A and B are shown apart, each in its own frame.
Chain A
């Protein structure tokens, strides 16, 4: 019995080590991924700072030089999308309450709002043709999942479009202010050309809404009726 008890104990130790290895490996990979997210985020911060700086320089003179049509601005749009996708995946991997994920999400939201304000200003002052969509979503909603997929596709087809991915449940004052400005109660809701679109919109419907930004390549005469549950309201930011 003595040697038998020893066997039970040794097996317990070995199993614990193997078990611990699984946890260890998982945390190594997770922290690796989190630092990847942070890198993308830093890149976004630098890109925004760069836009801001260029705009500040040009502000002194005139709007002769375009700020937004640069290649790297399109790169920024892609980065915003990319980070949104990766963040969503990390939420499913770790948990939406994971501290690292939450922190990145907050910071990322603030960066996006900042870029949005900057773009609005550039549009107003210089009349530049940059198309933006504010997209409010939340976890655990099928329509949001659908809308996210459609917007992902939209940006990949029209890279000059900029989608701002704002999780309405992120508890930061800036987001909450945005929500009250646009009167948003639930996701998915998009703000396009100062108009609020609540509910799910298909790719084709979005093309209808903003034909100037999303030109349809083929001639199509189909009229898309808005689905039930969609509401359209106009609100101005002031």
Chain B
């Protein structure tokens, strides 16, 4: 006898495995390409960095320094720093660059990140634009590596860079470092399939013309980078991902900050995806419509279901132990290790759960391979599993709640 709950569980696990196999097949197919020795960069077109700054007094200087230190012809780089009505000392701090000919300072009323990016666009004189976050540090060879994608594929319109967590200190940052590492694998696979979900605002390179063609940035429920990617995908622009052009971001340090960030992401994802619902399962948009969107949509109920199952099992186990305590007292709770294989769980669900976790760990491993990360700390993986299994459903539910009841979601700072 199989219950409805079982069948629902099987369906979600099947779909989750489908996604993982999809990635793995792609990986195996392109393995030789991914392992190929990196080309020496030899393509240095003029490019403009746009760095929107809102209350970035503590990080903007090191961000500018990291851009100035990249391995790229100095004369080919210009930087536009847009102060989006910061309430702190950002504007005063930016004044140190006012005599720097490669840096343009812009000041405007606060209007949100998308408005700051759009505000800067008319000032861009180069064919290439790089959107860059003010709390991010760029690896010296990242831009040159990214530009090689444009050299190798003249059709390319937008390229997302690989974002990793810089020196994770807190438990929350350690958990994120594993998540970002896993993302770099799945994002690369989506990139190879032409199904990029999002070119990250933290570091992405565009052809200016492509950006203007689709009409620049929009408010987009506070997730302007996702919406821009959707719009480009739907407009038939070519979007890809570079796994070898790295930037480092700090990532929220506290649980509360992470929650706010992810609430904004989830909320933005839900609302933008709803706005682009016509693209879902639309063959016209290739892998983006047929795979990327459905896969990310299915992830939501799947995550909730795993959460419910997790707590259901936890409560059952607790109840069992409580009954044992009532019956035989506290001493009986001290576990005795008996190696009787008979009592090992060998249900279908147990095997499927192992497969699912196996595929997640494989994703982390392949992410490590792709990103050339030398060591992965097991402790971080532990925190990743703990933090995300607890928190993902919470911000997902809150985002759904906010969407349904028309609550606005903020940047959270």
Contact = CB atoms under 8 A, between A and B. Distances in A.
Interface in B300-357: 320, 323-324, 326-328, 332, 342-343, 345-348, 350-352, 355
A26 B327 contact: no
Interface residues of B, number: 32
B327 A150 contact: yes
A217 interface: no
B257 interface: no
A93 B347 contact: yes
B355 A15 contact: no
A7 interface: yes
Interface string B50-74: 0000000000000000000000000
Nearest to A85: B343
B348 A18 contact: no
Contact of A26 (B1, B320, B326, B351): B351
Contacts of B296: none
B76 interface: no
B342 A15 contact: no
B403 interface: no
Interface stretch (A119-127, A140-148, A168-176): A140-148
B351 A15 contact: no
Scoring B286, B326, B332, B342 by chain A CB atoms within 10 A of each residue's CB, the highest score goes to B342
A15 B327 contact: no
Contact of A11 (B22, B343, B347, B352): B22
Contact of B328 (A19, A142, A150): A150
Contacts of A56: none
B interface SS class? helix
Given A8-B290, A14-B25, A153-B328, A142 B323 contact: yes
A71 interface: no
A33 B342 contact: yes
- Among B10, B14, B327, chain A packs the most CB atoms within 10 A around the CB of B327
Contacts of A142: 323
**Do most interface residues of chain A lie in helix, strand or loop, or is the interface mixed?**
helix
A19 B348 CA distance: 9
A30 B286 contact: no
A146 B21 CA distance: 45
Contacts of A93: 345-347
A131 interface: no
A234 interface: no
A146 B332 CA distance: 12
B18 interface: yes
Contacts, number: 80
Interface in A20-43: 21-23, 25-26, 29-30, 33, 36
Nearest to A151: B327
A26 B346 contact: yes
A202 interface: yes
Interface residues of A, number: 37
A97 interface: yes
A63 B352 CA distance: 59
A210 interface: no
A26 B22 contact: no
A26 B344 CA distance: 11
A94 B347 CA distance: 7
Contacts of A97: 1
Contact of B342 (A1, A36, A149, A150): A36
A4 interface: yes
A145 B328 contact: no
B381 interface: no
B270 interface: no
A77 B283 CA distance: 67
A145 B10 CA distance: 30
Contacts of A30: 346
Contact of B21 (A14, A22, A94): A14
Contacts of B22: 7, 11
A98 B2 CA distance: 11
B287 interface: yes
B327 A19 contact: no
B17 interface: yes
B21 A18 contact: yes
Contacts of A21: 351
Contacts of B323: 142, 145-146, 149
A86 interface: yes
Contact of A22 (B328, B345, B352): B352
Contacts of A98: 1
Contact of B287 (A4, A14, A150): A4
B357 to A, nearest CB: 13
- Please name the 3 residue pairs, one residue from A and one from B, whose CB atoms are nearest each other, closest first: A29-B346, A22-B351, A146-B327
Interface of B: 1, 10, 13-14, 17-18, 21-22, 25-26, 283, 286-287, 290-291, 320, 323-324, 326-328, 332, 342-343, 345-348, 350-352, 355
13 contacts: A11-B22, A19-B352, A21-B351, A22-B348, A25-B346, A26-B348, A89-B343, A145-B323, A146-B323, A146-B326, A149-B324, A150-B328, A153-B328
Given A11-B22, A33-B342, 10 more contacts: A11-B18, A12-B18, A19-B14, A19-B17, A93-B347, A146-B326, A147-B327, A149-B324, A149-B328, A202-B327
